[in-house]
Structure 1
Amino acid sequence: MSKVNSEELGTKPIGALLIKQAVPASIGILVMSLNILVDTIFIGNWVGSIGIAAINVVLPVSFFIAALGMAIGIGGSSIISRALGANNDKKALKTFGNQITITLLVTITMVVVGLTFIDQLIPAFGGKGDIFDPARIYYRVVLYGVPVLALAMMGNTVIRAEGKPKFAMVAMIIPSVGNLIMDYVFINILDYGMLGAAWATTGSYILCLSYIVWFFLSKNSELKIRFSDFGFDYEILKEIGALGFVTLSRQAIVSVTYLLLNNILFDLGGESSVATYAIISRMLMFALFPVLGVTQGFLPIASYNYGAEEYGRLRETINKAIGYASAVAFIVFALIMIFPETIVSVFTQDAQVLRDTPSAMRWVFAAVPVIALQLIGSAYFQAIGKAGPALLLTLSRQGFTFIPLILILPQFYGEFGVWISFPLADILSTIITGYFLRKEVKTTLMVDEKSNQDIKAT
Structure 2
Amino acid sequence: MRQKNDFTKGSVPKCIIDLALPMTLAQLINILYNVVDRMYIGRIPNASTLALTGVGITFPIITIIMAFANLFGMGGAPLCSIARGKGNIDEAEEIMGNSFSLLIVFGVLLTALGLIFKKPILFLFGASESTFSYANNYITIYLLGSIFVMISLGMNSFINSQGFGRIGMMTILLGAITNIILDPIFIFALNMGVQGAAIATIISQCLSSIWVLKFLTGKNAILKIKYKNFKIKIPILKQIVSLGLSGFIMALTNSIVQAICNITLQVYGGDLYIGVMTVINSIREIIMMPVHGITNGSQPVLGFNYGAKKYERVRSGIKFMSIVCIIYASLIWLVLRIFPEFFIKIFNSDPALIKSTVPAMNMYFFGFFMMSLQFSGQSTYVALGKSKQAIFFSLLRKIIIVVPLTLTLPKMFNLGIMGVFLAEPISNFLGGLACYITMIFTVWPSLKEK
Kindly report which structure 2 residues correspond to 1:66-85, keeping only aligned pairs within 5 A, or say none: 66-85=66-85
Q: Residue in 2 aligned with 1:366?
A: 366
Judge which range, 73-82 or 173-182, deviates more: 173-182
Distance 1:251 1:68 in 2: 9
Q: Residue in 2 aligned with 1:37?
A: 35
Kindly report which structure 2 residues correspond to 1:12-91, keeping only aligned pairs within 5 A, or say none: 12-46=10-44, 47-91=47-91
2:431 matched to 1:429?
Answer: yes
Instruction: Give the secondary structure class of the aligned counterpart of 2:131.
Output: helix
Q: Residue in 2 aligned with 1:146?
A: 146
Q: Residue in 2 aligned with 1:387?
A: 387
Instruction: Give the secondary structure class of the aligned counterpart of 1:346.
Output: coil
Distance 1:266 1:5 in 2: 53
Kindly report which structure 2 residues correspond to 1:174-323, keeping only aligned pairs within 5 A, or say none: 174-323=174-323
Instruction: Give the secondary structure class of the aligned counterpart of 1:191.
Output: coil
Cα shift readout 1:131-161 (whole Å, capped 9, x = no counterpart): 1111111110000111111111111110111
Say whether the 8 Å CA contact 2:73–2:155 is kept in structure 1. Answer: yes
Distance 1:342 1:384 in 2: 40
Distance 2:117 2:161 in 1: 36
The TM-score, its normalising length taken from structure 2, stands at 0.97
Judge which range, 44-53 or 339-348, deviates more: 339-348
Distance 2:258 2:201 in 1: 20
Q: Residue in 1 aligned with 2:449?
A: 447
TM-superposed deviation, 1:442: 4.2
Cα shift readout 1:219-253 (whole Å, capped 9, x = no counterpart): 22111343221112221111001111111111111
TM-superposed deviation, 1:322: 0.3
Opposite residue 425 of structure 2, the aligned amino acid is P
Say whether the 8 Å CA contact 1:26–1:293 is kept in structure 2. Answer: yes
The TM-score, its normalising length taken from structure 1, stands at 0.95
TM-superposed deviation, 1:119: 1.4
Distance 2:134 2:356 in 1: 24
Distance 1:6 1:341 in 2: 43
Opposite residue 17 of structure 2, the aligned amino acid is I
Distance 1:232 1:440 in 2: 34
Distance 1:230 1:311 in 2: 33
Distance 2:168 2:364 in 1: 30
Distance 1:346 1:89 in 2: 46
Opposite residue 275 of structure 1, the aligned amino acid is G
Say whether the 8 Å CA contact 1:377–1:437 is kept in structure 2. Answer: yes
Say whether the 8 Å CA contact 1:300–1:383 is kept in structure 2. Answer: yes
Q: Residue in 2 aligned with 1:341?
A: 341
Say whether the 8 Å CA contact 2:54–2:135 is kept in structure 1. Answer: yes
Say whether the 8 Å CA contact 1:65–1:111 is kept in structure 2. Answer: no
Distance 2:224 2:270 in 1: 53
2:63 matched to 1:97?
Answer: no
2:336 matched to 1:331?
Answer: no
Unaligned runs of 5+ in 1: 449-458
Cα shift readout 1:375-417 (whole Å, capped 9, x = no counterpart): 0101111111111001011222211211111111011210111
Judge which range, 33-42 or 74-83, deviates more: 33-42
Distance 1:328 1:23 in 2: 14
- CA gap of 1:439–1:299, structure 2 versus 1, over 3 A, is same
TM-superposed deviation, 1:347: 2.0
Say whether the 8 Å CA contact 1:6–1:84 is kept in structure 2. Answer: no
Q: Residue in 1 aligned with 2:134?
A: 134
Cα shift readout 1:321-354 (whole Å, capped 9, x = no counterpart): 0011111112211211111022222322322211
- CA gap of 1:33–1:318, structure 2 versus 1, over 3 A, is same
Say whether the 8 Å CA contact 1:66–1:107 is kept in structure 2. Answer: no
TM-superposed deviation, 1:165: 0.7
Distance 1:379 1:279 in 2: 27
Opposite residue 83 of structure 1, the aligned amino acid is A
Cα shift readout 1:22-69 (whole Å, capped 9, x = no counterpart): 111111111222342222111011141111111111121122123212
TM-superposed deviation, 1:91: 0.6
Q: Residue in 1 aligned with 2:4?
A: 5
Instruction: Give the secondary structure class of the aligned counterpart of 1:232.
Output: coil
Say whether the 8 Å CA contact 1:5–1:164 is kept in structure 2. Answer: no
| RMSD over aligned Cα atoms | 1.3
Distance 2:23 2:221 in 1: 18
Distance 1:220 1:127 in 2: 47
Say whether the 8 Å CA contact 2:148–2:206 is kept in structure 1. Answer: yes
Opposite residue 50 of structure 1, the aligned amino acid is L
Distance 2:444 2:222 in 1: 35
Distance 1:18 1:442 in 2: 19
* Identity, % of aligned positions: 26
Say whether the 8 Å CA contact 2:376–2:436 is kept in structure 1. Answer: no
Say whether the 8 Å CA contact 1:410–1:418 is kept in structure 2. Answer: yes
Distance 1:120 1:338 in 2: 41
Say whether the 8 Å CA contact 2:16–2:297 is kept in structure 1. Answer: yes
Opposite residue 138 of structure 1, the aligned amino acid is Y
Kindly report which structure 2 residues correspond to 1:100-111, keeping only aligned pairs within 5 A, or say none: 100-111=100-111
Q: Residue in 1 aligned with 2:416?
A: 414
Unaligned runs of 5+ in 2: none
Say whether the 8 Å CA contact 1:288–1:332 is kept in structure 2. Answer: no
